[in-house]
Amino acid sequence: MTWGFPARSRFRLRDLLRTAWLGVSSRPQRTALAALGVALGIASLTALTGAAASNQVQLLADLDRMGANLAIVTPAQGPGEASMPLPETAPEMVRRVDGVADVGVFETAPEDVAVYRTDVVPETESNGIRVAVARPEVFRAIEARLAAGRWFDDASRALPVVVLGRTAADRLGGVRPGDRVWIGGEWYGVIGVLESAGLAAEIDASAILGDRWVRDRFDGPDIGDISAMYVRAEPGRVGRITDALAAAASPGSPYVSVSALTELADARSAADDSLSTLGVVLAGIALLVGAVGIANTMVVTVLERRGEIGLRRSLGARPSHVAAQFLAEAAALALIGGVAGLVLGIGAAAVLALVSGQPLVVPVGVVVAGPGVAVIVGAVAGLYPALRAARLSPTLALRAV
């Protein structure tokens, strides 16, 4: 008799995968039902996460457009209560600040220039419309939108044309592009009307002229000076750049004022955190539903296949082999369901975004990790059934057949 160590297991990975696949493919109805449960869980995860992310992007974009990511840099009063002008290099210096996305410049408007619908309106009835002078990049910096017409370009900024804010157009009797208005004693053609600028009410009630036209047409010591810079920060970074804007706009000068809608910025931050937390909670619930479905399916599978387990054990299969087989089957079911659920979830998120008019946003992490997470969840959920199958006695298992 020869004594020695027990032979090493010959249950190779290839054999494990083939056996697990036979267990999955030989029962198509149960596989389909089990995979459906996983698919619904992953589809719920993808759709809910996508819907939450789409809502989050839309809400944050609306808040940003209202001014949550906007800071306004203006000259401050110096000695003698006179405003100290900002240097002409201020816009370029501010653009170099880390976290600044865009800078729009308003120049000083000519004094005693009023806006009327016609040339026969009494001068005392100005309707509270102010004249503003803008450079073309203002449109992008304040994230303005056009209700009709167009904004200034390199050609029109030097012509007698005007872009009206929403409130200004309404006060002038519903003026539209192509109409004329009377400004400062001469006619101006209306080339555009802006949509409401949210909290930037001063823009809504403004008649905006091109900067080059004003410089060429009007005289005055302040014409061409920077009256305000609207600084658009990158999402969520307005609080970080505010302190740096004054030094960048006019280095060494204390006569620079920087203002930001801090309450709106705080509301944006709170909304971002709340919606992110909501997305994580919804994802966890969806994964839990999928895990329960896999665990239930695998427990029932073990009970139905006790005869097979007993036969394999009697033919020499070790408990670890049986456990590995059932774990692999659970992972395979989860992978099938995960891929199917990912497709269904993206489709559902796309439909929700289309119906609600929001941008479709599905986090890349969900798309990349979805099937992998399904496999991990499936393996964890199948761990107890696999261990239960491994502990079955061959004699009792065959007797139960």
- Stretch 26-42: mean pLDDT: 69
* Tokens 């696999």 -> residue: 386
pLDDT for the residue 335: 79
Sign of the torsion angle spanned by Cα atoms 369, 28, 315, 305 = positive
The answer to whether residue 320 scores a pLDDT higher than 60 is yes
Residue 392 DSSP class: -
pLDDT digits (tens, 9 = 90+) for 280-293: 676 677 667 666 76
Q: What are phi and psi of 235, to 5 degrees?
A: -50, 125
Which residues, at least 6 apart from 175, have a Cβ–Cβ distance to it below 8 Å? 117, 164, 169, 181, 190, 193
Q: Is the pLDDT score of 61 beyond 70?
A: no
Report which of 137, 173, 176 is spatially closest to residue 157, judged by C-alpha positions. Answer: 137
Confidence at residue 148, expressed as pLDDT on a 0 to 100 scale = 93
Give pLDDT, residue 395. 60
Q: pLDDT category, 21, cuts 50, 70, 90?
A: low
Half-sphere exposure of 303 (CA within 13 A, CB side): 6
Neighbours of 175 (CB within 10 A): 20
pLDDT of the residue at 157:
94
d(CA 225, CA 87): 8
- The residue that leads in pLDDT, 352 or 90, is 90
Residues 332-356 have a mean pLDDT of 81
The C-alpha atoms of residue 338 and residue 35 are separated, in whole angstroms, by 8
* pLDDT(330) > 80: no
pLDDT tens per residue across span 248-303: 888 877 878 887 764 555 555 666 666 667 666 766 776 676 667 666 666 666 66
Task: Give the single-character DSSP code of 174.
Answer: S
Place of tokens 């026969």: 120
Q: Answer whether 60's CB lies under 8 Å from 256's CB.
A: no
The CA distance from 76 to 253, in Å, is 10
Provide the 8-state DSSP code for 158. Answer: G
Rounded to 5 degrees, what are φ and ψ at 73? -105, 125
- Residue 165 has a pLDDT of 92
Tokens at residue 400, please? 């139960």
pLDDT at 267: 58
